[in-house]
Amino acid sequence: MHSIHNKNIIHMTDLDLNKKKVLIRVDFNVPIKNNQILSDDRIQASIPTINFALKKNAKVILMSHIGRPKEGQINHNLSITPIVKYLKKIFHKYNVYFSKSLQHVPIKPGELLILENVRFNIGEKTNDSQLSKKYAELCDIFVMDAFGSAHRKEASTYGVGLYAKIACAGPLLVSEINALTKALQNPQRPMVSIVGGAKISTKFQLLKKLSMISDIVIVGGGIANTFLAIDYNIGKSLHEKKFIPLAKKLRARNNILIPVDSRIGTEFSDKSIAINKKPSEIKENEEIMDIGNKSIKKITQVIQTAKTILWNGPMGVFEFKNFSIGTRKLAKSIAISKAFSIAGGGETINVINMFDIKNNISYISTGGGAFLEFAEGTKLPAIHMLELSKKKHNINNTI
């Protein structure tokens, strides 16, 4: 695993930002409907970094993507404009500007400039060198602080850092990686990992890695169904046939906790009645939509003993009231646990908000894909780029 406690990258907090043009890649990819921000979690997570740079008298420029617009086309529904309004309220003591182009906009120290959605720019997704150079020309210092995009090799997350005079890590990126490293590298034991969600194919590498470093791995959702399908006919339950042989190999490690009973329904709807059944009792027209009562009891007992918890994904179709019990009980037991708990992924954050346990999780990661890839042991492109920049400058940087 790669820790950031080493001196391989430059930290924004160690640099002199006074009067410097500081371009910060933030993660403002938040849900927006009718110009209203539906969740401001990711923006709030970036505020301390922005504040730090403004207080150090920097000329601060922010850039982020939102959604998946078609490059080269302006999509007003995915404009940064609502976020600009939001930030103007937060930073009302400062001058805040908005620029739709990458032409040089003169700003003074202690002022804030926000750029339009980077994905409107042609060449963003392909990490185009011309666009990367344009970004780099805007600044003296490039700060990568968007952990949620750290696994992407794009112009605003990677290319810019290769051409910028200095590329460094922002405080949010550093805290994300330190929290993940703490959970993965030298965890306090017992370590319990929870992997839920629909598809085992998207999380197989993660399961493999976590089964090697965890004491117990709890599986839920469609992922658990693929394990159940090794021995049982599970009706029309969501699972991936192709992955049954691999799931069987993984199960042989003996530390995967597979549900012993399930809540099943006959139709995929919130009106469907939930019936608690053993896997051997499931009929052809039935589908597993949550874990059952005995499984919940087993899981909560395991969580009570944990010293480290890594959580990614729900136990079932938590959006349906009748099938939300397993996920709710899991969430509540993590919330009351004394363990160091780290949670990540979009669905997991929805669960945390739904059951109002935000303040009871030790660390909530802002990254989905980046969280998974880091936990799998993959070196994230953004980290690689920051290491290259450090080598280039060879600035002695200590934590």
Question: Which residues, including other chains, have CB under 8 Å from residue 340's CB and lie 6 or more apart?
Answer: 182, 183, 187, 188, 307, 308, 309, 362, 363
Per-residue pLDDT of 109-144, as tens digits, reads: 999 999 999 999 999 999 999 999 999 999 999 999
Across residues 7-16, what is the average pLDDT? 92
Task: Examine the residue annotation and report whether 369 is marked as an active-site residue of this protein.
Answer: yes
Residue tagged active-site, from 133, 165, 199, 248: 199
Is 189-338 the same fold as 4-173+379-397? Answer: yes
Per-residue pLDDT of 181-209, as tens digits, reads: 888 988 999 999 999 998 889 899 999 99
Q: Tell whether the model's pLDDT for residue 2 goes beyond 60.
A: no
Per-residue pLDDT of 36-48, as tens digits, reads: 999 898 999 999 9
Task: Examine the residue annotation and report whether 20 is marked as an active-site residue of this protein.
Answer: no
Residue tagged active-site, from 110, 123, 235, 369: 369
Residue with token string 């999509």: 75
Q: Which residues are annotated as a binding site?
A: 27-29, 42, 65-68, 119, 152, 203, 319, 345-348
Q: Which amino acid is at 123?
A: G
Name the CATH topology of 4-173+379-397.
Rossmann fold (3.40.50)
Q: Where are the domains of the chain?
A: 4-173+379-397, 189-338
Q: Tell whether the model's pLDDT for residue 13 goes beyond 50.
A: yes
Residue tagged active-site, from 42, 56, 134, 390: 42
Task: Examine the residue annotation and report whether 253 is marked as an active-site residue of this protein.
Answer: no
Q: What is the pLDDT of residue 254?
A: 87
Task: Examine the residue annotation and report whether 182 is marked as an active-site residue of this protein.
Answer: no
| Superfamily (CATH) of domain 189-338 | Phosphoglycerate kinase, N-terminal domain (3.40.50.1260)
Q: Which pTM was predicted?
A: 0.88
Residue tagged active-site, from 346, 358, 379, 391: 346
Q: Which residues are annotated as a binding site for substrate?
A: 27-29, 42, 65-68, 119, 152
Q: Percentage of the chain surpassing pLDDT 90?
A: 84
Q: Tell whether the model's pLDDT for residue 1 goes beyond 70.
A: no
